[in-house]
Every structure is written in C-alpha cells, then in structure tokens.
Chains A and B, each alone.
Chain A
Amino acid sequence: MAAITLDNVGKTYAGGTRALSGMSIDIAPGEFVVLVGPSGCGKSTLLRMIAGLETVTEGTIRIGERVVNTVEPADRNIAMVFQNYALYPHMTVRQNLAYGLKNRGTPRDEIDRRVAEAAQILEIGPYLDRKPRQLSGGQRQRVAMGRAIVREPAAFLFDEPLSNLDAKLRVTMRSEIRQLQRRLGTTSVYVTHDQVEAMTLADRLVVLNAGRIEQIGTPLQVYRHPATTFVAGFIGAPAMNLLPAQIADGQLHLAGAAVAPMTRAGGPVTLGIRPEDLRRDPAGPIRMRLRHVEELGHARLLHGQIGDSAAVCTVTDTAPPDPEIRLSIDPGQCHLFDAQTGARLTGA
C-alpha cells in the first residue's frame, strides 16, 4: 500500500503526439481512484506511465516516497490487470499466478501459500491446473486479478479490465473488484470509459478530456458540482441537458421565457439541468416539443427540443405525452457554466 503522486506529468509520444499535459494527482494510500474519459483522452497512456510501460516525458511520478520515472516496471512494486487479460497461454493458471513470484526468487512454499490464498479469495481453486483457453471470460478475468494479488504489490493498476465481459458479468465483477480492494486495502488506479463503472467503483474520480484533467473529486462531488460542461455532459446517464440561456433582470431566460429567478450579473450562460430535474408542470414556463419517447420500464425518457437545442426529460408517470410538454425547473438544480469557456460559474 503506497501513495502515488503525479506532479505536473506530461507525455509527448515519439511521433510528436501530445497525449497528456499538466497531470497533477495525489493518490492516498489505499485509495481507489478511477480515471474516466472518452476514447483517446489519454487514460491508458497515464496508467501505462505509472506502470513504467511508457516513458515519462515531463514531470515526476512517485510511488510511495520514491521517484519512479526511470524505474523498470518490475521494480515499481505494482501489478497490472489488462483489458485482454494477457494471461500466458501456455501456462496453467497456477503457473500464471506463480510466474512473477518465481522470477523474484520467492521460496517455493511461499509461492504455494500465496497462490492457494489468492485462489481461495477469487474462487479459482478448481481451475488451477487448467490452461487459460479452457476458461470462460469471467474466469480468465479472475485469474488476471489473481496474478495481481499474489504479488501483494503497493498498487493495482487496471486498464478497462471489464470491457470484454457481458453486461451482467460486468456488474458482478465490478462489485467483486470493489470488495476485494476494500479487503486488501491496496491503492488502486482504474481506467474506464464507462461512467457508471467509474461512479460505482471510485473513492475519487479523475475526469480526463483531450489529455487534460477536467475535474478531480468524489463521485458525488463530480455529479453534483461538475466543474465544466464537459464533465456535466459526461457524468450521469442520461446526460445532463446543456442549453444556451441568458440572465437578465434577475431572471434566467431559456428559449425566450423567464424560467427561474437568478441573482447574478446578466449575460449569456450555458444552463445545465439533469433530465430528472426537468419537472412536468402544466403551468411551467418551458415548452418542449416532443420528438420520441424511450421506455425504460421504471421511467421514460422524453426526447424533444427546447428552443433550438435537443433536450431529454425523465418522467416516471405513465400519462401519454402531448406533442408539446410544459416543464419547470428549480433554481437549486440549475448548473450554470460560462458560455465561452464552459467553466462552472461559482455560486450557482
């Protein structure tokens, strides 16, 4: 268990691709940090830099007290779980688990003890003498986790470990990973582009976009107070509505109608409002033209248009929707962002 400290870390690939810049993250010992962001934002690059598989071109990475910028992956005392498992296909599960320990000269009985322990924790005991190709995807995933935990490393690094599994198994494995991490108390960095996975697993989220940090915070902080329009649109499903609005005369104006009292300097803003915070209200000031309805069972998503912008509204009643719906909002649920920069306007 060790802290991981990134200080102003950047990465430019040999070809000149600028993948990351200005990454400063302090990960406390035992913390579960999830790096989340859209495809190509640099999540894997950052994780692989922590692992030592990619060179660090700027800044410093510390694991514990030690600067590890030029330390070999094997000497960083980390373990990594790969998306495609990367199990050694010609070795049995037992040999897969033992390989890293064997290379470090761990005594035989110690290896046996740790393999047995990991097998028991992950319930892979019955498969220890099988080859990876004789296992299902979920079982392979467990073996990959087992290979990480037998090493008893200072940190686990996960690169989208669940994305090859089917939806149901993903949910099960997700909570197993969380429980396992709690139980072992090992510092973990987990990469995913799935925001549900990110929200459910993380002690803290790091939202990345285009090689930069958009926001760092607990899942609730990030959900309740998104720092930018990017985070607002990325975290939460269905995504937050982002609508162009105006503040004038102490009122927030949306598509020509005053929708909520707002005491701040006038001018254009971007209004962020979650679909579940758009309330159906026959006397509401907001008019939404309905395009189509998505039935979820426990709720319905009404897709439509407010002014010129697409918007989504979640409703739980089953009344047949009209072609034009009236909605109202609570000023407390409004997120206001700078119309130009997309940064959150404080006090909103």
Chain B
Amino acid sequence: MVENRPLLTFLAHGALILGVIVVAFPVYLALIASTHPVSAFSSGVIPLLPGREMAANYATMLGQGISTAGAPPLWGLLGNSLVMALAIALGKIAISITSAFAIVYFRFPLRNLAFWAIFITLMLPVEVRIVPTFKVVADLGMLNSYAGLTIPLIASATATFLFRQVFLTIPDELLEAARIDGAGPLRFFRDILLPLSRTNIAALFVILFIYGWNQYLWPLLITTDERFYTIVAAIKRMAETADAEPYWNLIMASAVLAMLPPVLVVIAMQRLFVKGLIETEK
C-alpha cells in the first residue's frame, strides 16, 4: 500500500512518537534518579537532569546492597533472577515441545484425556492456584529453594499448543521419508522437528525468559531467606522501609539494573527472530 497523504503520515508518526514517550519517560526518570544523591529527593521534586552520583550509587548496590532495608548486594539477586528465568524458560520449552510431540505424533490410550488435561493448565496460572500451590510447595519442603521458585511456574502448558501448531504444519511426507530413512521417533524429533522449530523456540525463549524474570508475586511469597530473593521481588522490599525515607536513588539504580538482562536477551535473540520471520523453511 503506497499512500501519500501528509496529514495521515503526520498523525501516524505523532501517535507513534507519543507512544514512545509514554513508555520511555518513566525509564528515563528511573535512569536520572539513579544518578543523584539521596538528598535530591527530600524536597519531593523529582530531578529531570542527570546528577553526579551515578558511579557511587551503582557501586553501592552491586557491592553492599542496602542493609537497613534488608537488601543484599544486587549480584546475588541478579543471579537468582537469572537462574529462575532460565529455568522457567528452558523448562517450559522442554515440557511443551515434548508434550506437543506426544500429542501430534503418537496414538496412545487416553490421548484425548491427556490433551484436555494439558489444555486445562492453561486456565490455571500460578496466580489462580496460588494458595494450594503454596501449600504443596511448603509441604514438600521447597520453600526457599530454586526448585520451589521454578517448578510450579514451569508446570503449565503455555507453549504446548504453539508447538502443536508448528508440528501440524510439517508435512506428513517428511515423517514418512524419515521413517524410510531409518529414523525412529527420537531421531526424528532430534534431527527434523527440533531444527524446524528452531525459530519458534527462540521466540518462545525470549517471551518466557521475560515472563520468568518479571515474576513477582510467587517469589515474594515463598522466599524468606535473602539468599533466594529475586531482584524484582527485592525492589519491592527495598521501598518498604518502616521509618526512614526510602533510598530512591539506590532503588532506581536497582530497577535500571533489573531491566538490563531482558533487554540483552531481546537484543541477542533479535536476529533469530527476524530470520524466523523472513525465511520459511517448511
């Protein structure tokens, strides 16, 4: 569609620019706030121009944390978040792709039941089943552990249906050719299905990594030991000081650091994404 209507172009760009400002401005504020000393906030006015304390603030957060607010050094928090996000993304992908493989390529007893059981988990995200799930995790002694942080979040079928859809577009003849070529089910999975779903796996990884990284309620609930705090949940704890003013500069520095890994993942995976869009292999 080639149109040349200046007003429309102007409006469209205007709307887009407005959207970018709305999204980017809070990020800018956080970035600016993380460069000021804590005294800059006592007046109640948030500064709009960069200050000079950037290096000091970030060094404090990464090195010592805020002991008065119960925030350990950020390295540990970032590490925990990374473990959780990776485990959730990889775990979910592994579970989904294998269950989609079973559903699409095998005829087994109770296959329909399995299909619907998987389907139902879609309607039960952690937030809905949080109390019983907490009870189960507590009874299993998984509070304050990586297993407790990740397993309940992995156990749902979000991506099974996506992979099912991908597999259904792969022509049957490919399976038959592979059978004649002597590939059993596992070999077919490894040599044909996995490579053909590569770009879908990459896209899902990005989405699920961010999903895992941004988990808030669940980690807040099941971690009481600061060795297992995740960064997103910890920021909330930092702002929750009983009597003193919160250290807004340090909290904002943490927020900026917390934003970085998802951004890096998106940038790193972007090439595969785009490749997946322009190159059709099936």
- 0 or 1 for each of B194-207: is its CB under 8 Å from A? (1 = yes): 01101000000000
Contact B177 A80 (CB under 8 A): yes
A129: interface (CB < 8 Å): no
Give the docked Cα–Cα distance between A72 and B180 (Å).
Answer: 8
* Interface pair B191/A99, CB less than 8 Å apart: yes
Known: A89-B196, A89-B282, A103-B187. A82 touches B173 (CB 8 A): yes
Residues of chain B within 8 A (CB-CB) of A90 are: 192, 195-196, 198, 281
Q: Which of B169-205 contact A (CB under 8 A)?
A: 171, 173-174, 176-183, 187, 191-192, 195-196, 198
Does the CB pair A99–B181 fall under 8 Å?
yes
- Specify the chain B residue showing the minimal Cβ separation from A90: B195
Q: Which of B173, B182, B195, B281 contacts A103 (CB 8 A)?
A: B182
Verify A80–B281 contact, CB threshold 8 A. Answer: no
| A51 touching B180 in the complex, CB below 8 Å, given contacts A84-B171, A89-B282, A103-B187 | yes
**Pick from A51, A52, A88: contact of B192, CB under 8 Å:** A88
Contacts of A99 in B (CB 8 A): 178, 181, 183, 191
Quick check: A74 and B174 within 8 Å, CB to CB?
A: no
For B174, the chain A residues whose CB sits under 8 A away are: 86, 88
Which one of A73, A78, A86 contacts B173 once the chains associate, using CB atoms below 8 Å? A86
Contact, CB under 8 Å: A84 / B191: no
* A84–B183 CB distance below 8 A: no
Question: Which of the residues A74, A84, A89, A133 comes within 8 Å of B180, measured between beta carbons?
Answer: A74
Grouping DSSP codes into helix (H, G, I), strand (E, B) and loop, the A interface class, with mixed when no group exceeds half, is loop
User: A77-123: which have CB < 8 Å to B?
Assistant: 78-80, 82-84, 86-90, 99-100, 103-104
State the CA gap A133–B282 with chains docked (Å).
9
Cβ of A53 < 8 Å from any Cβ of B? yes
Q: B177: which of A78, A82, A104 is its contact (CB, 8 Å)?
A: A82
Interface size on A, residues (CB 8 A): 24
Main secondary structure of the interface of B (DSSP, over half): helix
Point out the residue from B179, B192, B195, B281 that lies within 8 Å of A53, measured CB to CB: B179
Q: Contact between B176 and A53 (Cβ–Cβ < 8 Å)?
A: yes
**Contacts A89-B282, A90-B281, A103-B187 hold; do A84 and B173 have CB atoms under 8 A apart?**
yes
Chain A: which residue is nearest B194 at the CB level?
A90
A-contacting residues, B45-103, CB 8 Å: none
Residues of B within 8 A of A51 (CB): 176, 180
Contact partners of A74 in chain B: CB under 8 A = 179-183
**A106 CB to nearest B CB, Å:** 10
Taking A53-B176, A80-B176, A99-B191 as contacts, is the C-beta distance between A86 and B182 under 8 angstroms?
A: no
Contact between B180 and A79 (Cβ–Cβ < 8 Å)?
yes
Which residues from A are CB-within-8-Å of B196?
Answer: 89-90
Contact of A88 among B176, B177, B187 (CB under 8 A): B177
CB distance from A83 to the nearest CB of B (A): 8
In the bound complex, residues from chain A placing their C-beta under 8 Å from that of B182 are: 74, 100, 103-104
Chain B residues lying within 8 Å of A87, measured Cβ to Cβ, are 177
17 contacts between A and B (CB under 8 A): A53-B176, A53-B180, A72-B179, A73-B176, A73-B179, A74-B182, A82-B176, A88-B174, A88-B177, A88-B178, A88-B192, A90-B196, A99-B178, A100-B182, A103-B181, A103-B183, A147-B177
Q: Other than the known A51-B176, A88-B178, what 9 A-B pairs have Cβ atoms closer than 8 Å?
A: A73-B180, A74-B181, A83-B173, A86-B174, A86-B177, A90-B281, A100-B182, A104-B182, A131-B281
